[in-house]
Structure 1
């Protein structure tokens, strides 16, 4: 392996953010406190004044969002068959059934036509993903939800800073969940956020993230329901405040590098490149499909060949319905052809702000060379 290894993701932390973390550590207030409040206020301002509550992960935010909507045993929630497995796991964790729907092969987002066909009398919500930071059609999504009286929980784990027709994801809509994992467009080390409109639902989300505890005006504690332990730390929030300050800059750099990929990644046989979207795409990931049917190598061998050239490659994502836990619900191979094809053929190339355009060129040259040397 070469010395200058290029991972598929790397966070960018500046000296000001690091200094803020040191200051927080020295303050003695490490759990949820003033930094968390400041981050929630800053995110609210970024998203047009909506209510924002932070969590230890986007997964926790999604689970709490389902609980806030009153979803539980006997209910169904429509989810894409291709996403990170957390998108479906949270539905099972509240006792409901995930109803999978295929995704579009170009955008990798939920097929809204198929989603409408999947609605039954038990459907309570639709939980779409803005895959790789490419927004789903919000106008069609919310029109569908209104027709059927459904709640919408947007899995925007990839989409902080993305926008639909000039409106930032999270600034409009029902419930929206973001991720601040280290490989995301901004990080709090680990963390996430839930965006809401209703103060009563926000109050319940606060209870659910901290043991179901309520306090009265005198500070007396009451336990209203069995909540979890999902509150963000002030140390994490200090990182988030620094990251949010740079988010627009980070996303501009991601868009530039994604455009370079789209210009340079041309091979015979060709890759199936991601939908380029528009300037509202936040480009969390650059995931393409390999032309495996026309190659003498497997995806694993392609990834190993890239690794040997000093380039990290990810897989985003296997089809969820083919995991053992979901086969047990009756799902099987052949149910969702696009999700399955993506699951078989997808690879994720490096994409992060600190990459240079010459780094992108290096990745493109390696990927094209490997494909062209191994074509049938």
Structure 2
């Protein structure tokens, strides 16, 4: 039998969710309404009762958090150069200056030592990124923020279901942003949510979410801030409700797949093939992605092409943000963040999604070893 193509990710939408979406379409109420409110209520309960607001992307949640925190022109925000470019773009969007700190060579998250040394009198916030669903040292992160009077906007886009020392990411901290984009552990097709530490900022976020509008009574309407159009639809929320009901099962499945990856690669993989495996963290990570770092002797594009020829999809998460033209124009150059540049050049995301089997993992591992052995 000819093997089918194995993508690096694929959402699983069950029939009950598809039927629920059809019911919403038939109801006539398809924009923000009762399903969004229910989704927010369930998310709030999951995060220990903290205020949660849903949006049409995980990107806008970070921008709105920065606006609520009063970040703007003249301010600096420190973040990681290894992330989806949106993490830095939102800093530019509010008129502030992005400052990068190099990453840890093992976790691939921002190096907190370098983060602290990057703080200046203009620094007003930090955006840590939890790559592949692995948090940074949260105790140290917030100690740094407290010591320097900084706001924290957690880019937890990939970290729903992750935790820190027994507490769910999102159940504590300052602003916590999650994404429900199609490749995330749970999806709303497109969407995101923002978790708040207080109700006042959640109310302000509602204004930023929809044109700055506040409604009262039947016809009362007022606008006192410049908002945008960032609301989630009931269609998207209904998908999210179906997905979110399975969050524990999904997280457990991904952990099981990650464990099988490690078993299949074996304890001698790094020494024998020269590639780096991820941190085997089964206490904190939700295993959003399983990534390896290739040895310098092989070009990533060649490796990905050879796996594609074997009908296995891969991903690149992520090229260093500071080397994009938009950021080079702002003075960033090669050599500024050498660890991020090396990892960003050689990191590859292997298939990881809920419908995968252990046989799929074995197939990927055998293919990876075969390609590396030829180089």
TM-score band (shorter)? over 0.9
Matched with 2:365 is 364
Q: 1:28: which partner in 2?
A: 28
* Partner residue, 1:235: 235
> In structure 1, the residue corresponding to 2:214 is in which secondary structure?
strand
- Say whether the 8 Å CA contact 2:172–2:197 is kept in structure 1: no
Q: Distance in 2 between matches of 1:320 and 1:305?
A: 26
Matched, 1:203 2:214: no
1:91 corresponds to 2:95: no
Structure 1 residue 225, shift from structure 2 partner: 1.9
Partner of 1:290: 294
Matched, 1:308 2:309: yes
Aligned twin of 1:126: 126
CA contact (8 A) 2:50 2:198 kept: no
In 1, Cα distance between equivalents of 2:373 and 2:247: 37
CA distance in 2, matches of 1:27, 1:218: 22
Distance 1:219 1:83 in 2: 44
Contiguous gaps of at least 5 residues in structure 2: none
Deviation at 1:328, TM superposition (A): 1.4
* Cα distance in 2 for residues equivalent to 1:284 and 1:69: 29
Partner of 1:346: 347
Q: CA deviation at 1:111?
A: 0.6
> 1:159-210 CA distances to partner (integer Å, 9 max, x unpaired)?
0010000000000000000000110000000000000022221111101010
Query: Is the 2:255–2:282 contact (alpha carbons within 8 Å) kept by the matching residues of 1?
Result: no
Q: 1:206-246: CA deviations, max 9, x gaps?
A: 01010111123454111212211000000000000011100
* Distance in 2, Cα, partners of 1:262 & 1:329: 41
In the alignment, what sits opposite 1:66? 66
Displacement after TM superposition at 1:279 (Å): 2.6
Distance 1:235 1:362 in 2: 36
Deviations 1:50-109 (A, max 9, x none): 000001000011110110101000000000011110000000000000100011111111
Once residues 33 and 326 of structure 1 are traced to their aligned partners in structure 2, the CA distance between those partners, rounded to angstroms, is 39
Instruction: Pick from 249, 273, 280 the counterpart of residue 277 of structure 2.
Output: 273
Alpha-carbon contact 2:77-2:96 (below 8 Å) kept: yes
Using the TM superposition, give the Cα deviation of residue 148 of structure 1 relative to its aligned residue in structure 2, in angstroms.
0.1
Counterparts of 2:355 and 2:245, CA distance in 1: 16
1:50 equivalent to 2:50? Answer yes
2:356 matched residue in structure 1: 355
Distance in 1 (CA, whole Å) between partners of 2:138 and 2:11 is 29
Number of residue equivalences: 370
Residue 280 of structure 1, CA deviation: 2.2
- SS in structure 1 of the partner of residue 317 of structure 2: coil
CA contact (8 A) 2:50 2:196 kept: yes
Per the alignment, residue 12 of structure 1 pairs with 12
Shift of 1:277: 1.5
CA–CA distance in 2 between the matches of 1:279 and 1:241? 26
Unpaired segments ≥5 residues, structure 1:
none
CA distance in 2, matches of 1:200, 1:219: 23
TM-score, normalised to structure 2's length?
A: 0.97
Provide the C-alpha distance between the structure 2 equivalents of 1:193 and 1:304, rounded to a whole number of angstroms. Answer: 35
SS in 1 for 2:45: helix
Indicate the SS of the match to 2:115.
Answer: helix
Aligned twin of 1:322? 323
Query: CA separation in 1, counterparts of 2:100 and 2:155?
Result: 15
Shift of 1:3: 5.0
Find the aligned partners of 1:261 and 1:56 in 2 and give their Cα distance: 33
**Is the 2:273–2:369 Cα contact (8 Å) retained in structure 1?**
no
Aligned counterparts of 1:81 and 1:13: Cα–Cα separation in 2:
33
Q: Which moved more, 1:265-274 or 1:233-242?
A: 265-274
Q: How many Å apart are 1:278 and its aligned residue?
A: 2.5
Distance 1:214 1:73 in 2: 27
d(CA) in 2 for partners of 1:253, 1:225 = 44
Which residue does 2:153 correspond to in 1? 153
Cα offset, 1:326, TM superposition = 0.8
Does the residue aligned with 2:176 lie in a helix, a strand or coil? strand
